[in-house]
Amino acid sequence: MAGPVVLRALQTLRPRCLTSATSGRFPAPVESVLRPASCVWYPPRRRSTPVRALHMCSALCAGHNKWSKVKHIKGPKDEARGRMFMKFGMLIKIAVKEGGSNPDMNLNLAHILEQCRSKNMPKVSIEAAIKSAEKAKPATQHTIEARGPGGCLLLIEVLTDNNSRCQQEIKRLLIRNGGMLSDGARHNFNKRGVVLVPGQNVSTERALELAIEAGAADVQETEDEEEQPVLQFICDMTDLKKVRASLEELGVQITSAGLEFVPRTFLSLDEGQLDAASALIEALNDYPDVVRVWDNIQADS
């Protein structure tokens, strides 16, 4: 038989490295013909770096990445959506504090509620925000002036029940992200009425015609948080309702209308400064007491 012949040959070549005998007709198992550690002719190679074992299983190699998609895509979107609704709740609280909880008698509240609906904020959340605003403990609203990376100017609107804590935290966030408090930044902004209109398929010439017909003082092209083009029709605060009504009569779809701080002059930043300024504004918006942040950064820089 071939098995015994091979076994005898191996025993002749390596007598010290095999087991003493095998039983039955079949050759010894594979393990029995391998050299034990004491019979290795050459010393084992030493590795300069440790060896890490690789463990694989079918579950890890199946390619299912649902959680990674949720974590990297859905998670940040849901988090941003929650922050947006929280900011709207703060705006509602400010509006109720200034003019009462009846939107028919409070134009600012009516505009904010319209923005909430345009962003699909649940009706239950809107009603809860109005009720909580009526029963909320006293809070103060004020605007903090600051300067950011590259010399950009910032207005930070806050609503807080602890002015000292809020001021210190805003100052800390500014310093950590390359900014500083700066008195006088407010002088570069005017509070104006702003009507937002979708900018798809609207040429610059047509936008100017609409602004003239509606009685707006200016129109600017920009993008919303979803990077969709929008048009800002800017007017005096007292003309906001009239301009909005005129645009609706002209068949224009209104996204939102409200009062905002509009820069008098804009500032262009290089790529590094723009990234740093974006990080600063994001950090400020993440702070719970911050309602909104206005800047004078050139949109197309």
Neighbour tally for 70: CB within 10 Å:
11
Give the CA diameter of the chain.
108
In a domain, 55, yes or no: no
* C-alpha distance across the termini of the chain, in Å: 86
Q: Which two tokens stand for residue 49?
A: 């770096």
Looking at the fold, whether 177 and 154 belong to one and the same domain comes out as yes
In a domain, 130, yes or no: yes
CB 86 within 8 A of CB 119: no
In the chain, the number of structural domains is 2
Looking at the fold, whether 93 and 227 belong to one and the same domain comes out as no
Range of the structural domain that residue 275 is part of: 140-295
Please give the angle made by the CA atoms of 199, 155 and 197, to the nearest 5 degrees.
Answer: 15
Q: What is the pLDDT along the chain (301 residues), one digit of tens a residue?
A: 555 554 555 555 554 444 444 444 444 444 444 444 444 444 444 544 444 333 333 333 333 333 223 223 333 455 667 777 887 888 888 888 778 888 888 888 888 888 788 778 888 888 888 888 777 666 788 899 999 999 999 999 998 888 899 999 999 999 999 999 999 999 999 999 999 998 888 888 999 999 999 999 999 888 776 677 889 999 999 999 899 999 999 999 888 888 889 999 989 999 899 989 989 998 998 898 888 899 998 865 4
In a domain, 119, yes or no: yes
CB 299 within 8 A of CB 231: no
Handedness of CA 88, 93, 98, 104 (dihedral sign): positive
Token match 């004491």: residue?
A: 38
Instruction: Provide the residue count of the chain.
Output: 301
CATH number at residue 239: 3.30.70.980
CA atoms of 102 and 93, how far apart (whole Å): 12
Looking at the fold, whether 276 and 188 belong to one and the same domain comes out as yes
Instruction: Classify 154 as helix, strand or coil.
Output: strand
Q: Which of 65, 100, 135 is the last residue of a domain?
A: 135
